[in-house]
Structure 1
Amino acid sequence: MIRTLVVRGLLLGLLAGLVAGGFAFFVGEPRIDSAIALEEAAAAAAPAEPEPAGHSHDVEISRPVQKAGLFLATGLYGLAVGGVCALVIAGLRGRVGPRNEGGLALAVAGTAFVAVILVPFLKYPANPPAVGDPETINSRTVLYVVMLLVGLAATAVAVAVSRRIAAGSWQRWIGAVAAFLVPVIAAWVLLPTINEVPDGFPATLLWEFRVASLGTQLVFWAAFGVLFGWVSERASRRADALVAA
């Protein structure tokens, strides 16, 4: 059974990744092109600096190749994430969350989006090209990962608190939400803020890029949750029909 779920997760994750890649291609790539144009214009206007001895030019990948590689990247991302989510769903079935297959898949996908994507994004949102200091990329990556781990830990705490509350469903929901928000808000307040947007960078372009970046993730997780839930529900009904026959 677990093998079937993993294969299902891999295939549907790949499909959801390609759907998200299509969204990113049509919505996000034009913003990246605009940001690159701004970066190139700023570089052309800046005085040329002599290159140090022994310096070699980095190999640049053309934009058409990058755009084609976008679908490869989102497909591989979906493949990996789909397999992991299938294992999570297999471990949660009958223990935590909705009892029906579709509801559980949507719950896992929605929770993963909030914990893994939304929580770190609200503190450290994505930036387009020409925004960010290359020398701080390591520290920014570490802070983003820390925020991601906080989201996962807060989710685990919320689930544990929900299972310990014996009262009605609304009390469990309040306890779970409070248990989730306390560590997340604490991390948002305590972790340093990073703002490396240069003066004069168009605020509209920055906002549109960030919305497109978050939207790509939302499309992926929504597509995966719906697809996995729909296929799982059909498989469950088919199995019940065979048993009844």
Structure 2
Amino acid sequence: MVGKLLLRGMLVGLVAGILAFAFARVYGEPQVDKAIAFEEQQAQAAGEAPEPEMVSRVTQAGIGLATGVLVYGAALGGLFSLVFAYAYGRLGSLGPRSTSALLALLGFLAVIVVPSLKYPANPPAVGNPETIAYRTELFFIMIVISIAAMVAAVGLAQRLWSKLGAWNASIVAGLAFLVVFALVKAALPDINEVPENFSATVLWQFRVASLGIQL
């Protein structure tokens, strides 16, 4: 049973990866090209020699992007199927479709939306290269905390279900999650390495495209 769910989840993830790749090519890659052009202009204005291109942009935006997105989609689909196998029957009287929809919504909020509110995506050419590891570490810390807070919120809702009812229990759990998020957001350091003269339009479109790929 679980093996079949895992296989189906990975296949669905591959299909989603194909759609995400198409979306990224149309909406994401043009913004990356604009960011790279900005970086090259800044380097030229500063009299710096252009950095050697280890991998061509054609490869990055083609086979490289496709490989990354498809592997990510398959892995995420498989992981989702395992979470579904565990959660199904433990979320009240929800059927399989309702359980899947709820898990997808909660997962999207915890893994994508909430961490991005603290550390939104930036084009690859924007930011200090020396702080990549530090920024990545903070982002993953935010993801882990967000997932843990979401799991705790779901557990809280289940415990309050019989006392307050489904609706009120969900509201209380949601408010508790927001409180945790607000505290963590205030505690973790802010990072803003986007140059002042970088196009706000390009930055916004890139972030929207990044969010759209995850959908």
**Scaled by the length of structure 1, what TM-score is found?**
0.82
Aligned residues: 211
The answer to whether the aligner puts 1:94 opposite 2:94 as a matched pair is no
From 43, 47, 72, give the equivalent of 2:67.
72
Residues 43-99 of structure 1: CA distance to partner in whole angstroms, max 9, x if unpaired?
1222237xxxxxxx7552111111112121111001111111100000011112662
The separation in 1 between residues aligned to 2:74 and 2:205, in whole angstroms, is: 27
The answer for the alignment partner of 2:184 in structure 1 is 187
Q: Distance in 2 between matches of 1:135 and 1:3?
A: 43
- 2:92 and 2:144 map into 1 onto residues whose CA distance is 21
1:146-225 equivalences under 5 Å are: 146-165=141-160, 166=162, 167-218=164-215
Read off the aligned partner of 2:69 and give its amino acid letter.
T
Runs of 4+ off more than 6 Å: none
Task: Give the secondary structure class of the aligned counterpart of 1:113.
Answer: helix
Relative to structure 1, the CA distance from residue 5 to residue 201 in structure 2 (aligned partners, 3 Å threshold; closer, same or farther) is same
Q: How does 1:1-245 map to 2 (within 5 A)?
A: 1-48=1-48, 60-68=54-62, 69-96=64-91, 99-165=94-160, 166=162, 167-218=164-215
State the alpha-carbon separation in 2 of the partners of residues 138 and 183 from structure 1: 25
Give the C-alpha shift of residue 179 in structure 1: 2.1
Distance 1:97 1:146, change over 3 A: farther
Query: In 2, Cα distance between the equivalents of 1:96 and 1:214?
Result: 28
Judge conservation of contact 1:97–1:107 (CA < 8 Å) in 2.
Answer: no
Alignment deviations for residues 188-225 of structure 1 (CA, whole Å, 9 cap, x no partner): 1111110001121111111111111111112xxxxxxx
Do the aligned partners of residues 97 and 119 (structure 1) sit closer, same or farther apart at CA in structure 2, a change above 3 Å counting?
farther
Give structure 1 stretches of 5+ with no counterpart.
50-56, 219-245
Q: TM-score, normalised by structure 2?
A: 0.93
The root-mean-square deviation of aligned C-alpha atoms, in Å, is: 1.5
In the alignment, structure 2 segments of 5+ residues that lack a partner are none
